[in-house]
C-alpha cells in the first residue's frame, strides 16, 4: 500500500518533468535570441534528467526500465498535468508555463528534501541548485516582460489568464494524500498549492500582472488519472517514433 502511494507520487512527478522537458526542448535552435536559446535548452535538459532520476526510482520499486516506461506508453498511461502537454504557443505562453510550473516544482522538491522516503529526498537535495537557477531565470523573465511595454504586458497577462486553470491542475489531489502525509513522505497537494500561491504572488505583482479572480478558478483536472487533451498522444507517438522502428534494438 505504501509502495503504491510512493509510486503514484513518483509517476506524476516523473511524467510532469518528462513532458515539460520535451515541450521546452522543441525551442532548441528556434528561440527568440541565441543566448536565451542556450539557456532554455539547459533547463529542458535538466528536466529530462530529473525525470530520468525519478523513473530510476520507480524501476527500483519494480517498474520497467526508465527508457521503456518513459518512451513506450500511450497517452492514457501518463500521469502528467494537462498544463504541461499543451503546445508551446508563442514565447509568452512557454515562459509563463515555465514560471508557473517551475516554482511549483521547486517548492515540491523543497518539501521532499526532508521526506521520510530517503531515495526521493536524496534526489530532491541533488536538484536543488538546478531548480534555483530555473526559478531565477523564470522570475527574471516574467518580471521584465510583464512590466516592459504595452505589448509585452498584454501578452504576458493573456498567457497568465490562459495558463491559470491549467496551472491549478498541477495540484490535483491523488488517492494517497493522507497516507503520504502521515508517513512523512509528502505533505500534500493542498499545502503545496498554498505555498505556490504565496511564492508567485509577489513576483506577479512586481511584473504588474494580475492573477485571475478566484471566482473564475476552475482547475483543469484529470491528468493525474491519465485523462489528457488531444495534444498528448501525438507527442508520445513522436517521442517513441525511433524506438518503434525496431523495438527489440538498443538505440
Partner 1 sequence: MIKSLDPRITRENISENNTIDPLTPMDNWETYEVFHQKKRGDQHMHVGIVHAPNPEMALLFGKDQYGRRGITANIWVVKTANVFCTEYEDQDMFETTPEKQYREAGGYKVMDKINKYKKAQKA
Partner 2 sequence: MYGNAYIDPNEKANGILAGEDPIKLKEFENRIARGEKIEPKDWMPKEYRKQLIRMIEQHAHSEIIGALPEGTWITRAPGFRRKMALMAKVQDEVGHAQLLYSAAETLGKSREDMTNDLIIGKSKYSNVFNYPAFTWADACIIAWLIDAGAIINQVANAKGSYGPYCRALDRICTEESFHLKYGHDNVVTLATGTPIQRKMVQEALTRWWPPIMHFFGPSDKISQHSEILMRWKVKMASNDDMRQQFLNMYVPKIWDLGLVLPDPNLKLNEETKKWDYTEPDWDEFKRVINGGGPCNAERLAVRRMAEERGRWVRKALLNKSEQYVTPLA
- Residues listed for the chain: 251
Q: Does 121 bind partner 2 (CB under 8 A)?
A: no
Q: Does 248 bind partner 2 (CB under 8 A)?
A: yes
Q: Does 66 bind partner 2 (CB under 8 A)?
A: yes
Q: Does 158 bind partner 2 (CB under 8 A)?
A: no
CA distance 182 to 230: 36
Cell of 136: 531565477
Cβ-based nearer residue to partner 2, 52 or 161: 52
Given partner 2, partner 1, none, residue 129, with its beta carbon under 5 to 8 Å by kind, binds: none
What's the first-to-final CA gap in the chain, in angstroms? 35
Q: Does 28 bind partner 2 (CB under 8 A)?
A: yes
CA distance 189 to 27: 30
Given partner 1, partner 2, none, residue 4, with its beta carbon under 5 to 8 Å by kind, binds: none
Q: Give the C-alpha distances (Å, rounded to integers) separating 78 from 90, 103, 223, 229.
A: 25, 22, 8, 11
Grid look-up 517551475 returns 102
CA distance 165 to 100: 11
Cβ-based nearer residue to partner 1, 35 or 60: 35
Q: Does 29 bind partner 2 (CB under 8 A)?
A: yes
Given partner 2, partner 1, none, residue 136, with its beta carbon under 5 to 8 Å by kind, binds: partner 1
Grid look-up 499543451 returns 86
Of residues 125 through 144, those in contact with partner 1 by CB under 8 A are 133, 136-137, 140-141, 144
State the nearest-atom distance from the C-beta of 86 to partner 2, in Å. 15
Q: Does 60 bind partner 2 (CB under 8 A)?
A: no
Burial track 158-188 (b if 16+ CB lie within 10 A, e otherwise): ebbebbbbbbbbbbbebebbebbeeeebbbb
Contacts to partner 1 by CB under 8 A: 26, 30, 33-36, 38-39, 42, 87, 133, 136-137, 140-141, 144, 238
Amino acid at each position: 500500500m505504501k509502495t503504491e502511494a510512493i509510486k503514484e507520487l513518483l509517476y506524476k512527478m516523473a511524467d510532469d518533468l518528462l513532458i515539460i522537458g520535451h515541450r521546452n526542448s522543441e525551442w532548441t535552435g528556434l528561440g527568440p535570441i541565441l543566448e536565451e536559446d542556450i539557456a532554455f535548452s539547459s533547463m529542458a535538459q535538466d528536466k529530462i534528467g530529473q525525470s530520468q532520476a525519478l523513473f530510476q526510482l520507480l524501476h527500483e520499486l519494480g517498474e520497467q526500465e526508465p527508457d521503456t516506461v518513459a518512451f513506450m506508453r500511450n497517452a492514457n498511461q501518463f500521469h502528467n498535468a494537462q498544463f504541461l502537454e499543451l503546445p508551446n504557443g508563442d514565447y509568452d505562453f512557454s515562459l509563463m508555463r515555465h514560471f508557473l510550473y517551475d516554482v511549483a516544482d521547486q517548492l515540491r522538491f523543497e518539501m521532499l528534501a526532508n521526506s521520510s522516503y530517503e531515495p526521493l529526498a536524496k534526489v530532491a537535495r541533488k536538484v536543488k541548485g538546478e531548480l534555483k537557477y530555473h526559478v531565477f531565470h523564470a522570475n527574471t523573465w516574467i518580471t521584465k516582460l510583464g512590466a516592459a511595454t504595452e505589448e509585452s504586458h498584454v501578452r504576458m497577462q493573456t498567457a497568465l489568464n490562459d495558463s491559470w486553470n491549467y496551472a491549478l491542475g498541477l495540484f490535483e489531489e491523488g488517492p494517497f494524500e493522507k497516507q503520504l502525509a502521515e508517513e512523512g513522505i509528502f505533505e500534500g497537494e493542498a499545502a503545496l498549492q498554498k505555498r505556490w500561491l504565496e511564492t508567485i504572488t509577489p513576483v506577479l505583482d512586481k511584473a504588474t500582472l494580475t492573477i485571475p479572480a478566484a471566482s473564475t478558478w476552475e482547475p483543469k483536472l484529470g491528468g493525474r488519472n491519465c485523462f489528457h487533451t488531444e495534444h498528448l498522444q501525438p507527442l508520445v507517438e513522436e517521442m517513441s517514433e525511433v524506438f518503434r522502428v525496431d523495438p527489440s534494438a538498443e538505440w
